[in-house]
Chain A
Amino acid sequence: MDIHNFLTPPAEMARRKGPYDRIVMSSRVRLARNIKDASFPGWAKKPERVRVLELIRPAIEGLPEMKDSFSETMDSLSSLDKTILVERHLISREHAAKSAGSGLVLNRDETLCFMINEEDHLRMQALRPGLQLRQAWTAIDQADSLLEKKLEYAFSPELGYLTACPTNIGTGIRVSAMLHLPGLVLAEQINPIIQSVNKLGLAVRGLYGEGTEALGNVFQVSNQMTLGETESAIVERLEKVLAQIIEHEENARASLLEKKPKMVFNHIGRAYGILANAHSISSKETMNLLSLMRLGVDVGLFPGVDRSLVDELFILTQPAHLQKQHSEKLSAEERDLLRADMVRERLRPVSRPIAKPSAPPGAGLDKQ
């Protein structure tokens, strides 16, 4: 099956709503599990990896919530399709590099995703739009409880779920949220915030997880410690910290608009100017400028424009998504031209930003 035909169209994806989605783009809870009496994927020889894959894959496919799922081995996916999955945040870059002996099972509405033989035998994650950490935890906890009836996990009463990397041992949980924080970046408050979040034992990472930069002012906040604390306590800690970051971001936006409105309007106006008129633009520049446009929509500088227009472009302008819309192989330079064409076209009905917000921030955003 072609992954592109399976995936929800970007326009529909961008319209999915969730609590606090002005700032929290998505919530995710991931669990790491391994099979008893089998070497971890990084150490196992190919026959053993294949054996583990053939054990785990049918168990997942048999779950009631995985009906009509997309299930493939990684060697049967093209590198373009794998990159599309990375751009959708459904698999890690590490998993995209895997081939025979690794697999992927994704449910119909893309809220549950299972990576088989990534760093661990099984990495399962639940995804939700907006701030819904607890719902995501409940969903993945249920799936895990059903799977443990069919699979014998590597578990020690003292150390909990045993994982390839000691950083994940115990609960094997990573609770994370993807945050759009342009206000804190523009107000130059982002570094102290990152530092204080780090001090609380939480990690702040860029758009694509470990070791990536924060493109488009998007940051991922997640727990680092997995042993010695219950899953609920970890979810609760994240919720508390996220509530504070959301508050800081809202305050930063309000205070920027009050104290430095010209600076904000200048950034947003220039972002619109370039996006609406450029004839060649890189993916990186596009993301950074779309982030400013998203802020413009949020603070009411683009009356009548829905945030989903920007969020759809966030997905569509990424390299693999762009390549997928064209049959011939594109070079980076050709992609930059086509990207600019698409963005210009999409922004044609959007009038340039008004000089003063006409509506209070947040108004006009609930429209579908």
Chain B
Amino acid sequence: MLCCICKEKEATVHLTQIAGDKMQKVDLCEECAKTKGVNDPTGFSLADLLLGLGASQEIEQAGGGVEIKCARCGFSQADFKKAGRLGCPECYKTFRDPLEGLLKSMHKGVRHVGKVPESLRHSRDLTDRLKVLQKRLGKAIQEEDFEEAAILRDEIKQTTARLVAPTPS
């Protein structure tokens, strides 16, 4: 088995990390293990290491040989391989598919469930409200309750207007 960093020397250091129900494996040659600080159990995190490997490989594969480049900042998969970091927030859209597997292996979930900026919270609430209103409108029309439908239609109009208007500060 070849080292998964240099892909030249024989891998002699095999690491497995189990976090929760996820298992991650890395095979390294002695030299790469040393440079990555694997010998020091206190200063080493497998996630950091995997980042430089898995991500760039997956991005390469997803590109099918064609280099993907971020349209906003010009960042490419080769840059990611070098830096282990992305170029700009837009890169998350550009490299969305290849990153998904990586995020899955690194994190508890693939969807954000934490804090949301207030300005977006506002628009998210309105979007949710719009969905509910539209459902009720469909039902009202089906039941031929046109009085209710008229009220709902007006409310949908207002909500849509608030959604496109700039958020109140």
A binding-site residues for B, Cβ under 8 Å: 34, 36-40, 42-44, 119, 141, 144-145, 148-149, 153-162, 164-167, 169-171, 173, 191, 194-195, 198-201, 203-206, 210-214, 219, 224-231
Contact = CB atoms under 8 A, between A and B. Distances in A.
Given A148-B118, A158-B111, A205-B42, A42 B85 contact: yes
A201 B19 contact: yes
Contacts of A165: 51, 84-86
A43 B75 contact: yes
B99 A166 contact: yes
Given A119-B85, A206-B42, A227-B109, A173 B48 contact: no
B107 A228 contact: yes
Contacts of A166: 51, 55, 86, 99, 102-103, 106
Contact of A225 (B86, B92, B107, B115): B107
A256 B124 CA distance: 57
Nearest to B119: A148
B164 interface: no
Interface in B66-106: 72-73, 75, 79, 83-89, 92, 99, 102-103, 106
The residue among B42, B79, B113 with the most chain A CB atoms within 10 A of its own CB is B42
Given A199-B18, A203-B45, A171 B112 contact: yes
Nearest to A151: B117
Contacts of A224: 19, 45, 47
B83 A198 contact: no
B37 interface: yes
A173 B115 CA distance: 10
A46 to B, nearest CB: 15
Nearest to B41: A194
A145 B107 contact: no
Contacts of A231: 114-115
B108 A228 contact: yes
A149 B120 CA distance: 11
A222 to B, nearest CB: 10
Nearest to A202: B19
Interface of B: 17-20, 37, 40-45, 47-48, 51, 55, 72-73, 75, 79, 83-89, 92, 99, 102-103, 106-120, 124, 169
A153 B114 CA distance: 15
Contact of B115 (A40, A141, A159, A191): A141
A212 B48 contact: no
Shortest Cβ-Cβ A-B pairs, 4 listed: A228-B109, A160-B112, A154-B89, A228-B108
Contact of B85 (A40, A161, A226): A40
Nearest to A171: B114
A319 B110 CA distance: 43
A38 B20 contact: no
A212 B40 CA distance: 9
A170 B114 contact: yes
B89 A34 contact: yes
18 contacts: A36-B89, A43-B79, A149-B118, A155-B120, A156-B112, A159-B92, A165-B51, A166-B99, A201-B108, A203-B45, A206-B42, A213-B40, A213-B42, A227-B103, A229-B113, A230-B114, A230-B115, A231-B115
Contacts of A211: 37, 40, 43-44
A2 to B, nearest CB: 32
A160 B106 CA distance: 15
Contact of B112 (A40, A148, A153, A157): A157
Contact of B88 (A43, A149, A229): A43
Contact of A201 (B20, B84, B87, B111): B20
Nearest to B51: A167
Given A194-B42, A213-B40, A228 B88 contact: no
Contacts of A43: 73, 75, 79, 83, 85-88
Nearest to B106: A167
B52 to A, nearest CB: 11
A228 B102 contact: no
B148 to A, nearest CB: 31
A138 B84 CA distance: 31
Given A162-B92, A214-B42, A155 B117 contact: yes
B88 A38 contact: yes
A157, A191, A212, most chain B CB atoms within 10 A:
A157
